[in-house]
Every structure is written in structure tokens, then in C-alpha cells.
Structure 1
């Protein structure tokens, strides 16, 4: 894989308040450049949700209502998030979830495409018993010593997802082949299905 051929891409991860649909409590966006995560230009935001964080969600990511009460509301940071994401490609694990939540919070945002490391892992490692982020970290064993924060925080999970993407991308000679394996149907960037020729 020639990483210099990649378009602009950011690995994203979001954490929510546990409601359905969720309010965001944390967003991370980590650029990947030349086959490496670029933490120097990454973005990370905490935000106070309009509805309280549920006890279950707080146990998962550790972000309690008390921790978030002094953070800015979404409307105060939305433009900054939108500016960093721009029209770049994004990548996430189980990406339709992150894409759906971000799209709901940023109605004017439209990425160039959406890579899903869950879909990519199933194509790259077809015999694994599980494809959770933890299972892939255990299988691939990326070097997470530089990861910020802790597991289930957006910054850590984006960093881990980025390293998994870079490792799996090495199995695909070209960007187009990576896209074919990693973009879920119906999401931006999905390859168009060639129509069968007919006599008419």
C-alpha cells in the first residue's frame, strides 16, 4: 500500500450519553498521514449533553454528569468539529454508528467517504471468532503506548482504530481495493455497483 496516495482521512470516535438517539459527550478526530496517526493535528472535544448521562454509559466511558457539567454545549463546539472534519474521508469501527451520530449533530457535514474497520477486519481476517475493537487489538497487537487516555474514551479508541486501519491496509495493494473492502454499502464512498448490460 502506498500511503502517500491516500486522500485526506481522519479516524473518528464518538462517545454518547446513553440515550437513544444519543447526545454526544466526546468526539475525537485523528488524521492519518503517510501511514501514521498524526496526533499533532488531532482534535478532541468534551461536551455537556442536553440530557443526563445514563449510569450505564458513565460506567463504560467514565464521563459522568459531574465531570461534564462545566464543558461547553454542543452548539459551542460544533463549528470547530465541522471545520476539522471538512470534506475528508473518515474511518471508524462499526462506522455506520459514528457516521449516523455525527451526521445528526452536523447536518451540513458530508464526508468524502466512510471506511469501517469492522467491515475491513471481516474481509482481512475472515476466521476470527469476534470482531470487536478489543478482539482486534488482541489479534493485531498494535503498539498503543502512544495512545492518549484509556479504552472507551474517544481519543484512545480513535488511536487504536487508526493503527488497526494502517495494519490492515497493508493487505491491499491500492486505495481502491481498500475502499472496496472497507466501505459499507449505502455509505459515502461506497463503490458503485456496475449494472449488468441488457439488450435494451
Structure 2
């Protein structure tokens, strides 16, 4: 018996994704004998590119069941089944991660239709689900939705069963997926680590730091390093001797410390983060009609950005929301290329800056409000976040738009008095990465307390 499934997720960091939709078809090799399809409230944000890809947004999931509410049904429908999925390693990992959050180990044998197709239908130009089923003449509806993709996988798997005339290839391709076990030395390291937010340092036997990371749960993250099977994790598992850490309480403080420490120490397995962590930026300029235009472009160190983004899609999503929130013109924000009016003007959602109908003063005031909100250039302020203890807070100091450093305090007097504030701040380097980290964090955490300094 097979449980053929497809999962849609929120996207995001590895092993921090959440499920937004799941479809499981129980298949006996001939027909579908049972099915389970449901949207799921992931209790976390959905990445903008995922919303664009699947069409699933947070509003659709507000009243959907949470994973723990459907977990029992998933266990029941997959009982005594081999899990089948297109790129099964991904779906199996996501499902296992969700069950582990509930304290349950979900272990099943699995089959991957990508691997099977490569063996049984060689020389295809692409083995992505959409292109593969189209090339094989398999009908597919609701692409990038769990039900549509799972049903297409059922039809593909049925074809693969027919092609496996010897009945050996599929049998030999079943992965048993045993529970990943920690080695004894790794168990000793993990058991002494706390489940707190902070920066961690992985050392080899001579004390050299080979990797630096940050996490909201250091114990859990180190456990992932020791059980993951990617190349970097395997190298870390071989060379690790000990793990030290520094508690920060605040994720923002952890991000800033991680960035600075990686640049300073340059650990061998942190190669990717030694480079700039943003690729695109938001710039402004005035056109020939004196309107302030906004543009997402590749980050250029010679220009001063309003704010920065990890990729172009993130920037585009930001601008799309800004158009709605600040009633801006699609044409003047680069979202709608035209020589006449933008689409929003045609549907009466734009006041006409695209055709010089709205006054530049009124329009530019709204753009300036957006810029002011999302840039801390020339600002003097303290960002207040969580501390390491229940009665402590963290403080991130910005002076004249320059990041000065971080500190921890217990009494409001310490941050309201400028001299005392400076004495508790540990100086840190200001660079484009720190600006990106702070601006990105402020965008995602709109309820942070910010104190403006005179």
C-alpha cells in the first residue's frame, strides 16, 4: 500500500518551514482507496515568493486547522504504507519536522518518483513534476497546489509501476529512513547546551572555531547540525570537539553578533556568510516632472539605499505592499511599465501621479513617509528588544543613522540617560550588512519598541 503525498510550505529557513497544505492519496497499486486533503495554519509567515507560486496566503489559512489537529488523521491514512512523493526527501523531511515539534517520531519507508523516473524513463529534458508529466502526456490541474500535484504524482507513479516490468527497480529503491542517531560524542555535546536564543561557536580539538551560527534554540540547532546529511554538516560532524555559546535573548542581537564574528574570525565552514548578505536595494530619484520615483535594483556600494533585500523577489513584495499601504503609483515604483497611466489609475486606485494629474507635493509627501519609515538615515534612536533574562532588555543604538553597538539593561533610567546609555553599549562595526540586518528585522517585527533620542 502506498501513501502518495504532496506538501506546500511557507518557505523560509531550513527546518523552520511550516506546512500550509497537504494532500495524501492512499493507493493500492491500482486505485485510490482513501484520501486526505487540507489547508493547514502554519502559525508562521509565508514567504512572498511562495504566495505568488501557490496562491496560498495567510488570510486563507486563518481558520484552517493547525498541524496538531490533523496529525492523527495523517498517521491513520499512512499506516502500513510506503510514502511516495516527487522529491520525497523534501516532503518526508517537512512531515518529520512537524511531527517532531509534537514530540512524535514519524518514520516510514519512502519512494521518490524523481529517482524512479530517472531509472525507468531516462533521457527526459527535465524531471521537475510539471515538465515531466506534460512531456508524458499526463493531465495535471491546480499546479503548485497539494491536491493537484499529488494527483499528478499518483498518475506518474502508476505509469512507473507499469514500466517496472521486472518489479525489482521500485522494490530496490525503497528507502527505509531509519531514525537519525547521534554519535556518543555528539550526545555529550548536545546534552549540556541550553534551548535559548544566542550565537554558538563550533570548535575542533585544538580550539579553533570552524563554524559560527545563531539560533532561537541553540540545543535544537546543534542537534540538526549533528543529524543533517548535507556535505557541510557531515564535515562539521567529523571535526567538532566542543560547542560554546553566548546568550543574547534577542534574535536581532544574535544576527548582528553572528555577522560581526563571522567577518572577524572567518570560520572555514561559514564561507557563504563572509560575503554581503543582501543582493538588492531600494533607491529613489526624481523624474523630469519632479515626482519621487522608487526602484528596486541590484545593490551598488557607490549608491546610498533606502533599505536592502536578500533578493529581488523580497524587494518586489515590499514595493507591492508599499503601493497599497501608501497609495503610491505602480508606474513610479517600477511595478507597471507604461508610457501612459498605470493599471491602478484605470481602476481608480491611483490618484494620477503617472499622468501628472496629482500634485507632486501630495504624492512626494507619501513617498517621503515611506522612506522615513524604512530608513534610519540621520536618525538617533534605540531599538529595544528581549534580554537574556526575564527582567532584562537589549538595546541597539543608532546615532546619526550609524549603528553604534549593543548593550543590555534592567532599568529604563539606563537608556533615558544618554551618558549611561553609551557606557552600557558595546561598540560594534557599522557596515552594509548590519544596516541590512537591522532594517530587515524592523520590517518583520513591527511591534518593536523604538526610542527616539533628542
Using the size of structure 2 for normalisation, the TM-score is 0.36
Question: Over alpha carbons, which structure has the higher Rg?
Answer: 2
- Residue 28 of structure 1 pairs with residue 23 of structure 2: yes
Q: Do 1:30 and 1:42's aligned partners in 2 also have CA atoms closer than 8 Å?
A: yes
Distance in 2, Cα, partners of 1:28 & 1:174: 30
Quote the residue 1:137 is aligned against. Answer: 133
Where relative contact order (Cα < 8 A, 6+ residues apart) is larger, the structure is: 1
Unpaired stretches in structure 1, ≥5 consecutive residues: 1-7, 189-200
Q: Output the CA distance in 2 between the equivalents of 1:48 and 1:124.
A: 37
Runs of 4+ in 1 over 3 A off after TM superposition: none
Aligned equivalents of 2:29 and 2:126: distance in 1? 29
The structure that is strand-richer by fraction is 2
State how 1:78-93 maps to structure 2 within 5 Å. 78-93=71-86
Q: Using the TM superposition, give the Cα deviation of residue 110 of structure 1 relative to its aligned residue in structure 2, in angstroms.
A: 1.9
Aligned pair in 2 of structure 1 residues 43, 174: CA closer, same or farther (>3 Å)? farther
Q: What's the offset of the Cα at 1:171?
A: 1.4
TM-score by length of 1: 0.79
Could you say which residue in structure 1 is the equivalent of 2:91?
A: 98
Q: CA deviation at 1:131?
A: 0.5
Structure 2 counterpart of 1:119: 115
Distance 1:67 1:43 in 2: 18
Is 1:86–1:109's contact at 8 Å kept on the other side of the alignment?
A: no
Alpha-carbon shift at residue 83 of structure 1 (Å): 1.7
2:105 paired residue among 108, 120, 138: 108
Q: Post-superposition shift, 1:81?
A: 1.4
Indicate the RMSD between aligned Cα atoms, in angstroms.
Answer: 1.8
- Residue 162 (structure 2) pairs with residue 167 (structure 1): no
1:143 CA displacement = 4.0
Show the counterpart of 2:144. 152
Separation of aligned partners in 1, 2:164 and 2:92: 24
Deviations 1:92-127 (A, max 9, x none): 00100001111111233222x211100011111221
SS at match of 2:77: helix
Could you tell me which residue of structure 2 aligns to residue 4 of structure 1? none
| Matched pairs, number | 172
Preserved CA contact (<8 Å) 1:124 1:168: yes
